Amino acid sequence: MSTTRRSPLLSPPRGPVPRPTNWDDEDDDELPGSPLGKSWLRYVPLTLALTLMLAPHPSLLIVLVNYHLRVLHSPSRFLTHLLVTYTLTFCAVSSLIVILARDPGPVPSPKRSEAPDSESSSMDFAQALLDTEDDEPLIRTQGKWCRKCVAPKPERSHHCSSCGRCVLKMDHHCYWLGDKCIGHRNYSAFVHFLTCVSLLSIYIACLCVQAVYFAFTNPLAIDENTPLHDIYLAFYGIIMTLVIGSFWTYHLYLTTTNQTTIENISPYLLLRHLPPLPPQTSTRQKLSDPPLEHELTYPQRRLVRDAHYQLKIYDVGWKRNWAQVMGWSRPRGWMYRLWLGGGGKGDGRTFPHNPRAEPLLTRLAAELVSIDKNQ
């Protein structure tokens, strides 16, 4: 009997398995899971946020009645302040309802044929192993693929482990607003909510600081309880302005430059947009194509971080950025968005790119390879 061993039909590859270029690494996209799970506890931060937004109104009514009506005898100022404060409150609550009710951006599942192909179903096991043709070009045509959703991953979408799904143009996951993601379809409502709350805080702070000054300069003209409400509202408005206002300013910057929070705080996402790297002649070359973050040396990391601050992939001018993010197409379409906010412009899957980005990305790819060769 012959003892010659035959080589197996399939043998595992030697060395590290190369990472497919269309397989998306989730390590820099995925946000940590929600510690609250999906129970009623996730609504506790939302309840607290609503309480913080509505708590000043009883004291505000006391200040408006006692100060503007009984002391200043000015019904016009009373009505004006009442109209402004409750209009901003109504707009904030309206945009909050939009955030909670609207899906942030569903990523469609891949379309597959309902009936299997008779020719492919008759293929036996050996032919299936030896077949190298890809009859399903879905992954290759979409460019990216989420290994957790097992579905195509459109441009600028990210996987959220708290929601267990991919979100179109994901900005961040917000535990304060119903434990929901902020994405393509509700980001403009989120900016509208921050705008209304910040303007309301600024307005109340200015109104009550003036009332506090009047109470200290005219102590006998007003009762002793109203200044306490004035001081409380003044500090409350200042603190909310510093907290929410700084967050609002940051998102105004993101809207003006057409970035998301994930894109702004993750400079190495820039590596995904690099063109094919120049020819690599060095035997010590270890960069993938496109490069991965853990492969970069310290000089290469500094180079990518510096390029991140100068290069905005989706920045097409501040006017077009605002029109795209806030979702208006007409010249005066922003006036309609002032009331309730709304959804972003487009389908959330493709976005126009900065025309100046391509040569800068080509230069960045060449410099990354050049640094690696010189080490």
Q: What's the predicted TM-score (pTM) here?
A: 0.80
**Residue 123: per-residue pLDDT:** 43
Amino acid letter, residue 185:
R
328 domain-assigned: no
pLDDT above 80 (res 15): no
* pLDDT computed for residue 173 by the predictor: 93
- Is the residue at 160 inside a domain? yes
Dihedral (CA of 53, 58, 61, 63) sign: negative
Closest CA to 93 of 341, 345, 335, 343: 341
- Asked if the structure places residue 334 within a domain, the reply is no
N- to C-terminal Cα separation, the chain: 58
Is residue 69 included in any domain, yes or no?
A: yes
Please report the pLDDT score of residue 35 as a whole number: 46
Contact 211, 74 (CB under 8 A): no
Average pLDDT score over the chain: 80
Those residues with Cβ within 8 angstroms of residue 185's Cβ, 6 or more apart along the chain or in another chain: 102, 103, 104, 105, 168, 343, 344, 348
Residue 267 within a domain = no
Give the total number of structural domains in the chain.
Answer: 1
pLDDT at 225 exceeding the cut of 50:
yes
Residue range of the domain that includes 143? 23-108+139-260
> Which segment of 3-7, 70-74, 152-156, 197-201 scores lowest on mean pLDDT?
3-7
Told to judge if 146 belongs to the known catalytic residues of this protein, a careful annotator would answer no
What is the DSSP code string of 91-131?
A: HHHHHHHHHHHS-S-BPPPPP--SSPPHHHHT--HHHHHH-
Q: How many residues does the chain have?
A: 375
Per-residue pLDDT at 340: 57
Percent of the chain with pLDDT over 70: 74
Which 8-state DSSP code applies to residue 346? S
> Would 373 be classed as within a structural domain?
no
Q: Cα 248 to the chain's mean position, in Å?
A: 13
Does residue 348 contact residue 105 with C-beta atoms inside 8 Å?
yes
The single residue of 146, 160, 174, 181 carrying the catalytic annotation is 174
